[in-house]
Amino acid sequence: MKTFITKKAHLFAGHSEAAFGLGLLAPAFVCVAVFAFYPILYSFYLSLQRIILSLPGRERFVLFENYRALLQDAAAREALANTLAFVAASTILEVAAGLGIALIINRHFRGRGLVRAAVLIPWALPTVVAAQMWRFIMNDNYGLANLIAFGADTGQYRAWLAEPMIAFVSLVAADVWKTSCFAALIILAGLQTIPDELYEAAAIDGATAWQRFSRITLPLLRPALLIALLFRTMDAFRIFDLVFVMTQGGPGGSTSVLQFYGYQKIFSEGLMGYGSAISVVVFCVTLAVSVLYIKMLPGAARRGI
């Protein structure tokens, strides 16, 4: 009888702890449902309708007509190509630059704490502020780029942001400058988990610096590199601020990305349903790429991901 009562008490305590844990998590679940899942589902619902803001009361359900129109939209295809090119260029450069920064600030030297804090300044700046700063740098009248290229008081200038390729490269450069330090922060955390004994043993065995980097650092950094790549890819797909401030999608749509194109369709042309379809496409592409990255993480197969 005593054993039975003890088992019941343990079972009740286990249920109480589970209920207490769920109670603590409930506010977080509610916030995620309200601020994440509901907007996604509502955007998908809007994408199935023909909604024109200038014609209130004339909404109608069109199912996948917006998506069919999106497939035939040449401007949307160009925006998708620009988005994919931007994501590929910016994420590769940011992770590479972040790896270099992390390797430097992981070393022991005088003033390392100050350098680590200074490295994070670009990331701490609001994106709009960083975009405005780069817009001033590339300005055709008083920008730093013209000053470096032609010197002061020469009367020469170049409208950098009016040239498609240079405008696109400027967007990539601005994004890399701002967010490489975020990738560096993640990679630095990975570097600090690698035991120093591995490097000491490799040095004793005569391994060169490159061999230690390629055979110890890179393999053990793979999870951190993939996580940095995941976060930067997700963020790059959502680029809007830089385009809005620096180029407005120009010249000639050469820097228009899907997020900005969706904004134009909704707020400039009033096509709420069509713009929502673009947002859903961005979400689906980002989700697919994120799942791919997560499956590449070590141990993902064992965890059933």
> Tell me, what's the pLDDT at 15?
62
Q: What residues contact 190, with CB distance under 8 A and at least 6 apart?
A: 102, 220, 221, 223, 224, 225
Runs of H (alpha helix) within 33-163:
38-47, 65-71, 74-105, 112-119, 121-124, 127-137, 144-150
Q: Which of 196, 200, 176 is nearest to 101 (CA)?
A: 176
Number of residues that make up the chain: 305
* pLDDT tens digits, 116-173: 888 888 888 888 999 999 999 988 888 888 888 777 666 778 888 889 999 999 999 9
CA dist 303 and 22 (Å) reads 23
pLDDT at 202: 87
Tokens 């369709």 locate to: 265
Q: Can you name the residues that pair with 60 across neighbouring β-strands?
A: 50
Determine the pLDDT at residue 14: 53
Per-residue pLDDT of the chain (305 residues; tens, 9 = 90+): 545 445 444 544 556 777 777 888 888 888 888 888 888 888 899 889 898 887 777 788 888 899 999 889 899 999 999 999 999 999 999 999 999 999 988 888 787 778 888 888 888 888 899 999 999 998 888 888 888 877 766 677 888 888 999 999 999 999 999 999 999 999 998 998 888 888 888 888 888 888 888 888 888 898 899 889 988 888 898 889 899 999 988 888 889 999 999 999 988 888 889 999 999 998 898 888 888 888 877 655 444 44
Q: pLDDT value at position 184? A: 92
How far is the C-alpha of 133 from the C-alpha of 260, rounded, in Å? 20
The rounded radius of gyration (Å) of the Cα atoms in the chain is: 25
Predicted pLDDT at 298:
64
Q: What pLDDT sits at residue 25?
A: 84
Task: Name residues whose C-beta falls within 8 Å of residue 274's C-beta, 6 or more positions apart in sequence.
Answer: 47, 66, 69, 70, 265, 266
Q: How far is CA 31 from CA 23, 35, 42, 286, in A?
A: 14, 6, 16, 22
CATH entry 1.10.3720.10 includes domain 71-296: yes
* CB contact burial 148-175 (16+ within 10 A = b; e otherwise): eeeeeeeeebeebbeeeebbbebbbbbb
